[in-house]
């Protein structure tokens, strides 16, 4: 196994015994030599090599073998045949909370599960406050888990798993737990784990998560690997498959097998290796503020109920960002980011179609040259939806004196569909032609958008589409 390989599978197959009647299992035990079971092959000759630091998505229909594959990699199931190797400490999010003892307190379960994940008692203790803060279950941490709601259980399980600093994180449909605020924390933590160089392998039915998070994807169907390729190509083929008529499926499979246009995993890896990586101080603002906009679905808020003719924007004191990250140098700091309505009221519950202003103050502690300011709107999953800078490269603020305070505002019309969103704030300066963040706040403001009608909208943005249906006579 190569040093840069995280997971290696060679011809992995897994069979399960299926009995037609419950008594057949007993008959097989009592009458050796008489086979009463039928073999079901959940995996058939799966060969994979996943490198360290890669994020790989697995798609496939229910019952295709995805979860079985993850359980084999996690060491929960032993394969019937084949060889596999795993290089590094694994944290598996398969059935969240399934490893918790309901009679133990939350604290006891954190320490127990931490030890299972390979952490020492001292390591768990040093991370315990971070785990409890992330889970946000308050004093319930000292109560038996049997007294928890299902949401509290999964939050604590997720928090424990992602704070174990795994070399390999395995996730099985567990990225949509909790409410919007907690989901945002989950995705932010996943991004953090990616940045630290961990390998991530996850199953999801969400095409958008695959394209948003993954370096490449794998499609498994009836226990067999169909193809592994770039995310968008993979999703396109898979969606053609699930919406095809039965008589067209074999033809599609043949097309996939003979398709030479798919980008090879080797080429994807080469492309990734050649992509320049930037830290907070050196990343050009353009790569942050103007990344491609990806499709994603958000659940509509309850405000889409019929009969609502008029809505009011307002401020909800409970809607506070739980995933705020402040990254600042000694040169400047951002203060008091907030949204105001046209009547100057502070709000975080917005009405679709109305105008709002995003404001924050910047305090400068040193003389600074060639400065501009930015805003960025993101979804719960961290998808960058829209952003802008206050000045172009040709029109930067040439000089700001030490001790000066500047009020920054961005006025916009809310064309977002109902859902929960997040705003970033950033101060950027230019030195020797390279842009640097002096201060940046990730998820500085959380806000929700209300619907003004019961018309269902998909995606993030309302394009103002007008629908017309005409009968041809």
pLDDT score of 85: 93
Mean pLDDT of 380-387: 84
Confidence tier at 29 by pLDDT (50, 70, 90): low
pLDDT score of 376: 94
pLDDT score of 259: 65
Give the residue carrying structure tokens 């101060």.
427
Confidence tier at 65 by pLDDT (50, 70, 90): very high
Instruction: Determine if the pTM surpasses 0.85.
Output: no
Question: What contacts 285, CB < 8 A, 6 or more positions away?
Answer: 372, 374, 389, 426, 428, 435, 437
Nearest Cα to Cα of residue 445 among 325, 343, 351: 325
Q: Evaluate the CA torsion angle 117, 120, 123, 124 in order and state its sign.
A: positive
Confidence tier at 246 by pLDDT (50, 70, 90): confident
pLDDT score of 252: 77
pLDDT score of 468: 86
Work out the percent of the chain whose per-residue pLDDT is above 70: 84
pLDDT score of 390: 94
CB-based contact 74:234 (threshold 8 Å): no
| Mean pLDDT (the chain, rounded) | 82
CB-based contact 90:168 (threshold 8 Å): yes
pLDDT score of 116: 84
Query: Coil, strand or helix: which one is 402?
Result: coil
Q: Which residue stretches of 76-202 are H helix?
A: 106-116, 121-135, 150-162, 180-195
pLDDT score of 20: 73
Q: For the beta carbon of residue 469, count every other beta carbon within 10 angstroms.
A: 4
Confidence tier at 37 by pLDDT (50, 70, 90): low
Query: Coil, strand or helix: which one is 408?
Result: strand
Q: Is the pLDDT of residue 286 over 70?
A: no
Q: Evaluate the CA torsion angle 287, 415, 175, 209 in order and state its sign.
A: negative
Mean pLDDT of 159-169: 90
Q: Is the pLDDT of residue 278 over 50?
A: no
Helices (H) and strands (E) in the chain, counts: 11, 20
Instruction: Please state which of the ranges 294-303, 379-388, 435-444 shows the lowest mean pLDDT.
Output: 294-303
Euclidean distance between CA atoms 166 and 173, whole angstroms = 18
pLDDT score of 293: 29
Show contacts of 278-281: CB within 8 Å, 24+ apart: 280/327, 280/437, 280/440, 281/329, 281/436, 281/437
Selected residue with higher pLDDT from 443 and 17: 443
pLDDT score of 282: 35
Question: What contacts 472, CB < 8 A, 6 or more positions away?
Answer: none
Mean pLDDT of 90-98: 74
Confidence tier at 299 by pLDDT (50, 70, 90): very low
Mean pLDDT of 77-87: 93
The full DSSP string for 326-374 is: EEE-SSEEEEEEEEEETTS-EESEEETT-EEEEEEEEEESS-EEEEEEE
Q: Evaluate the CA torsion angle 80, 83, 84, 85 in order and state its sign.
A: positive
> What domains can you pick out in the chain, each with its CATH number?
5-88+167-274 (3.40.50.300), 285-450 (2.70.50.60)
Work out the percent of the chain whose per-residue pLDDT is above 90: 42
Q: How far is CA 155 from the centre of its chain?
A: 15
pLDDT score of 366: 93
pLDDT score of 281: 37
pLDDT score of 122: 93
Euclidean distance between CA atoms 176 and 159, whole angstroms = 13
Q: How far is CA 153 from the centre of its chain?
A: 20
Nearest-10 Cα torsion for 81, 87, 89, 91? -50
pLDDT, tens digit (0-9, with 9 covering 90-100), for 173-223: 766 666 677 777 888 888 889 989 999 998 887 777 788 788 999 999 989
Mean pLDDT of 163-173: 88
pLDDT score of 44: 94
Instruction: Please state which of the ranges 145-149, 197-201, 367-371, 381-385 shows the lowest mean pLDDT.
Output: 381-385
Confidence tier at 150 by pLDDT (50, 70, 90): confident
Q: Is the pLDDT of residue 319 over 60?
A: yes
pLDDT, tens digit (0-9, with 9 covering 90-100), for 387-441: 999 999 889 999 999 999 999 999 999 999 998 999 999 999 988 878 889 999 9
Nearest Cα to Cα of residue 427 among 356, 369, 348, 384: 369
Residue 363 pairs in a beta bridge with 333, 405
Burial class (CB in 10 A: 0-12, 13-18, 19+), 146: exposed
pLDDT score of 330: 87
Query: Coil, strand or helix: which one is 306?
Result: coil
Distances (CA, A) of 68 to 44, 73, 267, 301: 11, 9, 29, 35
């Amino acid at each position: 196994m190569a040093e840069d390989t995280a997971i290696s599978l060679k011809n992995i197959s897994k069979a399960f015994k299926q009995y037609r009647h419950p008594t057949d299992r007993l008959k097989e035990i009592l009458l050796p030599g008489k086979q009463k079971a039928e073999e079901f092959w959940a995996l058939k000759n799966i060969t994979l090599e996943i490198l360290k630091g890669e994020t790989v998505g697995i798609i496939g229909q229910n019952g295709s073998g995805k979860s079985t594959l993850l359980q084999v990699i996690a060491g929960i199931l032993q394969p019937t045949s084949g060889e596999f190797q795993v290089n590094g400490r694994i944290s598996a999010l398969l059935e969240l909370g399934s490893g918790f003892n309901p009679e133990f307190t939350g604290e006891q379960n954190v320490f127990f599960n931490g030890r299972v994940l390979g952490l020492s008692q001292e390591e768990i203790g040093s991370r315990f406050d971070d785990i409890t803060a992330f889970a946000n279950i308050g004093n319930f941490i000292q109560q038996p888990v049997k007294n928890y709601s299902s949401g509290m259980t999964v939050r604590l399980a997720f928090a424990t798993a992602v704070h174990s600093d795994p070399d390999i994180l395995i996730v099985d449909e567990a990225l949509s737990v909790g409410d919007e605020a907690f989901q945002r924390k989950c995705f932010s933590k996943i991004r953090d784990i990616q940045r630290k160089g961990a390998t991530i392998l996850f199953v999801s039915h969400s095409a958008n998560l695959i394209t948003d998070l993954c370096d490449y994807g794998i499609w498994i169907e009836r226990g067999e690997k169909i193809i592994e390729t770039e995310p968008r190509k993979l999703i396109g083929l898979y969606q053609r498959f699930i919406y095809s008529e039965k008589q067209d499926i074999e033809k599609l499979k043949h097309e996939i097998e003979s398709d030479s246009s798919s980008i090879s995993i080797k080429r994807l890896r080469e492309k990734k290796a050649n992509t320049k990586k930037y830290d907070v101080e050196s990343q050009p603002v353009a790569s942050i503020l103007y990344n491609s906009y990806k499709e994603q679905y958000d659940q509509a808020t309850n405000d889409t109920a019929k009969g609502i003719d008029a809505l009011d924007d307002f401020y909800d004191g409970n809607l506070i960002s739980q995933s705020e990250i402040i990254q600042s140098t000694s040169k400047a700091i951002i203060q008091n980011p907030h949204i105001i309505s046209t009547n100057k009221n502070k709000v975080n519950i917005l009405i679709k179609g109305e105008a709002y202003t995003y404001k924050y103050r910047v305090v400068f502690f040193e003389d600074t040259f060639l400065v501009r300011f930015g805003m960025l709107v993101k979804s719960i999953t961290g998808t960058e939806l829209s952003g802008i800078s206050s000045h172009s490269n040709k029109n930067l603020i040439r000089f700001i004196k030490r001790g000066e305070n500047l009020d920054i505002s961005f006025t916009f019309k809310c064309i977002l569909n109902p859902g929960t969103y997040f705003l970033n704030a950033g101060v950027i300066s230019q030195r020797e032609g390279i842009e640097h963040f002096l201060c940046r706040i990730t998820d500085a403001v959380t806000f929700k958008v209300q619907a003004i009608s019961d018309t269902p909208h998909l995606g993030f943005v309302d394009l103002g589409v007008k629908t017309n249906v005409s009968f041809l006579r």
